[in-house]
Structure 1
Amino acid sequence: MKPPCYIDLEQARQLLAEMGVELNERQMKRAADRDASGRRKLPFFVDPVDGRLRIEKGTLVRIYREAQIEAENSAKQ
């Protein structure tokens, strides 16, 4: 099993760009910020050491893959 790989906002934005999802810095920040009910669109967390937002790389990729699979399955019905 591979150890987790935590990435920051900019690295997450670059990873998504490599996958064909082009987001600007503001869009990425909005996905990571808490909404009025305290929830985030993506599961970023505050790094306890440096206080920066981070997300696990594999989790981010999995979220997009699951969304794609769900879209494909709903289109076949």
Structure 2
Amino acid sequence: MTGMKLPPCYIGLDEARQVLAEMGVELSPRQMKRAADRDARGHRKLPFFVDPIEGTLKIEKGTLADIYNRLQVDALRDFNNSC
């Protein structure tokens, strides 16, 4: 069947670190926490949210991978445009 989307898969900080590590992005627990915490303006580097039931930070697994894939595509486009 085409057009069927998989249900979202929400993961916590440790699982997010693992997903990124599998993509070759090695982060320490502290680096991951800093990416998830709000800055002075109230913004997060990555779109984590507080799970209303557990009270822990979560992110959708596919969104996390998409962000890194999009950044790589943008970098390649910028590189090709500079040549």
TM-score interval for Structure 1 and Structure 2 normalised by the shorter chain: over 0.9
| 1:55 aligned partner | 59
Distance in 2, Cα, partners of 1:6 & 1:50:
12
User: C-alpha deviations, 1:27-50, integer Å up to 9, x for none?
Assistant: 000000000000000000000001
Aligned residues: 77
Instruction: Calculate percent identity across the aligned residue pairs.
Output: 65
| TM-score under structure 2 length normalisation | 0.92
Alignment of 1:12-27 (within 5 A): 12-27=16-31
Task: Give the C-alpha shift of residue 8 in structure 1.
Answer: 0.1
- List gaps (5 residues or longer) in structure 2: none
| 1:10 aligned partner | 14
Q: Which has the larger radius of gyration?
A: 2
| TM-score under structure 1 length normalisation | 0.99
- List gaps (5 residues or longer) in structure 1: none
Runs of 4+ that moved beyond 3 A: none
Task: Give the C-alpha shift of residue 56 in structure 1.
Answer: 0.1
Distance in 2, Cα, partners of 1:54 & 1:66:
20
SS in 1 for 2:55: coil
